[in-house]
Chain A
Amino acid sequence: MSSAKNININLKIWRQKNAQAKGSMETYKLDNVSTASSFLEMLDQLNEQLINDKKSPVAFDHDCREGICGMCSLYINGRAHGPETGTTTCQLHMRKFKDGDTIYIEPFRSKAFPVVKDLVVDRSSFDRIQQAGGFVSVNTSGRTIDANATPIPKHDADRAFEAAACIGCGACVATCKNGSAMLFVGAKVSQYALLPQGKVEATQRVLNMVRQMDEEGFGNCTNTGACEVECPKGISLENIARMNREYLAASLK
């Protein structure tokens, strides 16, 4: 990566000791950040500096750093996962920033995602929605029918895959002015609705998942479309429309 150079940046980062504490923005200066570094490597570098100064490092969620596990989050300069469209925070690189920039970093904020510490939030509400119906009720015996016994039109399989590509990061919720989880839930409902294996339980699934979504305190969808824009995996609004159709059909049954 011969084009890499070093830049100096200013950081304004949300610090909050725990869920109960009142948080605030703190200012840090970080020099010699390689533009080939990822955004999270920049935060590693900040933490190394803080640790060497015997100060408390910044807590943030991350794991795979390949844009697939969905654990990283962060609101960067007012956008979920930062300035680059279709990119998780871990895949954002410092070459997208300039020398002397001031970067604002906040946690994903939403009623259903309480802050745990600093930039770490609790997204277990997503797990509970999945537990309410995000599955096909088939036991894991391996004694099902042959995988090719039911042909699935390529178009449907591809649409199901696109919906299933959701990484469950919660950017859709964080960016929505209503704190709605419709894109996340719509993607899961759509994946199963598009496949023959998912059709048997379709009615119960959509009713149960939507009920759980409402119980968790997520807001309603007002078709702003911000979720689709900020989704790092390009999950389409069509999934919300499909869920609404499924929900309507289920409610009328």
Chain B
Amino acid sequence: MKLDSKIPAGPISDKWTDYKDHLKLVAPNNRPKIDIIVVGTGLAGASAAASLGEMGYNVKAFCFQDSPRRAHSIAAQGGINAAKNYQNDGDSTYRLFYDTIKGGDYRAREANVHRLAEVSANIIDQCVAQGVPFARDYGGMLDNRSFGGTQLQRTFYAAGQTGQQLLLGAYSALSRQIGLGRVKMFNRHEMLDLVKVDGKARGIIARNLVTGELERHSAHAVVIATGGYGNVYFLSTNAMGSNVTAGWKIHKKGALFANPCFVQIHPTCIPVHGVNQSKLTLMSESLRNSGRIWVPKRKEDAEAIRAGKLKPTQLSEDDRDYFLERRYPAFGNLVPRDVASRAAKERCDEGFGIEANDTNEGVYLDFSTEIQSKGKQAAYAKGNHNPTPDEITKLGKQWLEEKYGNLFAMYEKITDENPYETPMKIYPAVHYTMGGVWVDYNLQSTIPGCFVAGEANFSDHGANRLGASALMQGLADGYFVLPYTVSNYLADEIRTGKISTDLPEFAEAEKSVKDTIDKFLNNNGTKSVDHFHKRLGLIMWNKVGMARNEKGLTEAISEIAALKEEFYKDVYVPGSSDELNPELEKAMRVADFIDLGQLMAMDALQRNESCGGHFREEYQDSEGETLRDDENFSFVSAWEYMGYDISKEILNKEELKYEFIKIAARNYK
């Protein structure tokens, strides 16, 4: 398939403005004649639905949760980037653009990323206007903090709940449109297929999760904003319901799936506690502003800690290895996520892990240095120039509580340990997926009329996303990109008229969904859906995880293909189709995860290089850093579905051209 990214010509800083000025419009009187479906109500979906509703289109929005406000964007903790330069530390659109391209290890499209950086400042203005209560300083101005992969402070935040506040802002905009009747909201509905008529996206089949009824919804355009696929690993920081089903259904209908192997494994998550673990919990990257990551210098000490014979607080500074500060002095604890995760894995693989679980995988995130320095500052600010150690410690802890109180409380609830007194134990976990449905500059997939936004698309983060950039991308896509590009597409649809759901294409799609449901319910297997999901997760984590190699990937591909056969033969799904049936919902999602898992392994196997979150053990330098191969792999891999057997998928390539940034080895030393 010939891929046309539709990147406009011209200098990078003018592309979006010029392009936008020449896009086609739909006049206000024609917009009410046009229907748009938006699936997913996270930052991208809610902002898109609200904006398109405001413009006057008829919007139908869908979410599987009981309310659009539950979408998993809500759990984002640390912040949102924007090139405002409020801190006067040299930030600019170009720097945000550059940091994002470099952070993504030169595997993202320049034009998309520049557009993202350009609109970033508007996002903050918009959110403040909506009443989003960002953190402020005593002068009443917005506060900022640092995130990984940058050397300045451009991250806006609301304690450790930035995603919540931004999502509730987008939800409020969406709610306004629902109240005005311009958006019709379908809670507890799941999209189970895309309907194509004459090659164009014309609607969806959705299941009402309460009654089990299958519904046909038609539209002139369909926006998929259903988030990432991290739950393919079973354990991840995603919500339990996060899934790839909408993205996978459109893939099966002709949308290419790009860079599936680019997965972000986040360095600071709470380690696994046992076999019944259902998910992993992130401790925000913002904590790396204040925390220092270390393991014991001596293996004996690590062993003694695991055995409960030694406490981390008993180890002197000289006995600690602050391995990020040691290896990457220029960025220290604030290296990008992929770099920090691999460094933690390296230490644990060498036997320095401190967690007493099955794998000994865990490192410390220690706040004691920050308690002292911030405590002293606070004492001085109060006019106490000769504070006692106790006063310093007390004030330092207060400072931490104000900045990160909710995260510290969450940590204590989960682990039963007090992080103000003893360092946090953390370990990398699957967090975000840079890969996703392939889209062009308009965020349109290879199916005309089917747009994909937010984490569900592949477009902006290359092989590694920088912290606090997911929120930025979700809102940029929904508020500031789709309203223009979707309208441009719809300008040719003003004469189409209402699309009938009686068309044979709708009947056919509905029947195929019904057949799948019936097949699962009548399967009479012996094992639960979770049984298969956990097995898939183990294969993925061990062989398509933080470190990959040819042998493991080859094994993973055949193991997953075999698991698929077993799943369809032996999965047991209780209950019926005409009721709330969470097991049935899970079965259909896991079926798609199995397919995608195999494709991820195939993608990782063909990419004979290391870049960003994709680390192939065969391709590293003598210090264990990633070795990119720009000559042969400077492309987006875009996979084309060829039927039930995933191994038959065809690899298409979109060449990446760097015209404005000089491509270089990524260096954080």
Contact = CB atoms under 8 A, between A and B. Distances in A.
Interface in B145-181: 158-159, 161, 163-165, 168, 171-173, 175-176, 178-179
A31 B171 CA distance: 42
A4 interface: yes
Given A57-B582, A161-B158, A191 B575 contact: no
Contacts of A87: 413
Interface in B107-164: 119, 122-142, 158-159, 161, 163-164
Contacts of A59: 580, 582
Interface size class of B (residues with CB under 8 A): 35 or more
B133 A44 contact: no
Contacts of B75: 64, 66, 68-69
B276 interface: yes
A136 B129 contact: yes
B231 to A, nearest CB: 12
Contacts of B582: 57, 59
B51 A34 contact: no
A44 B134 CA distance: 36
Given A48-B530, A66-B410, A140-B50, A126 B133 contact: no
A222 interface: no
Contact of A148 (B66, B141, B278): B141
A67 interface: yes
Given A153-B140, A154-B138, A45 B70 contact: no
Contacts of A1: 273-274, 356-357, 415-416
A116 interface: yes
Nearest to B237: A66
Interface string A92-136: 110100000000000000000000110010111011001111111
B210 interface: yes
Contact of A144 (B125, B172, B574): B125
A40 B617 CA distance: 38
B378 to A, nearest CB: 15
B274 A145 contact: no
Given A3-B416, A117-B579, A154-B136, A165 B574 contact: no
Contact of B133 (A63, A147, A157): A157
B137 A154 contact: yes
Contacts of B279: 65
A95 B413 CA distance: 10
A242 interface: no
Listed residue (B137, B173, B175, B579) with the most chain A CB atoms within 10 angstroms of its CB = B175
B161 A165 contact: yes
Contacts of B69: 69-70, 127, 130, 168
Interface residues of A, number: 86
A195 interface: yes
A87 B416 CA distance: 13
Given A52-B528, A64-B74, A91-B410, A41 B574 contact: no
A132 B132 CA distance: 18
A160 interface: yes
A126 B74 CA distance: 17
Given A69-B239, A127-B187, A134-B175, A61 B410 contact: no
B172 A164 contact: no
A232 to B, nearest CB: 11
Interface in B587-644: none
Interface string A132-156: 1111111111111111101111100
Nearest to B242: A63
B278 to A, nearest CB: 5
Given A2-B308, A66-B75, A68-B75, A142 B125 contact: yes
A204 to B, nearest CB: 12
Given A127-B68, A139-B54, A44 B276 contact: yes
B414 interface: yes
A247 B513 CA distance: 50
Given A117-B580, A131-B175, A157-B134, A95 B72 contact: no
A38 interface: yes
A191 B131 contact: yes
A158 B409 CA distance: 18
Nearest to A146: B125
A68 B136 contact: no
B124 A34 contact: no
Contacts of A61: 66
A36 interface: yes
Listed residue (B54, B74, B210) with the most chain A CB atoms within 10 angstroms of its CB = B74
Interface string B63-95: 001111111101100000000101000000000
Listed residue (B124, B142, B172, B178) with the most chain A CB atoms within 10 angstroms of its CB = B172
B570 interface: no
A120 B125 contact: no
Contacts of A160: 131, 133
B273 A37 contact: yes
A171 interface: no
B241 interface: yes
Contacts of A65: 239-240, 278-279, 281
A195 B169 CA distance: 14
B240 A63 contact: yes
B72 A64 contact: yes
B80 to A, nearest CB: 12
Given A63-B70, A132-B179, 18 more contacts: A4-B273, A38-B278, A57-B574, A63-B240, A69-B75, A71-B66, A120-B580, A123-B66, A124-B66, A130-B171, A131-B179, A142-B479, A151-B136, A151-B139, A154-B138, A161-B165, A165-B164, A195-B131
25 contacts: A2-B308, A4-B274, A18-B579, A18-B580, A36-B274, A37-B277, A48-B530, A63-B240, A67-B410, A69-B74, A86-B409, A93-B414, A124-B66, A127-B68, A127-B69, A139-B54, A140-B483, A147-B84, A148-B141, A152-B136, A153-B136, A154-B140, A157-B136, A161-B159, A191-B131
Interface of A: 1-4, 17-18, 34, 36-38, 40-42, 44-45, 48, 51-52, 54-57, 59, 61-71, 84, 86-87, 91-93, 95, 116-117, 120, 122-124, 126-127, 130-148, 150-154, 157-158, 160-161, 164-165, 167-168, 191-192, 195, 197-198
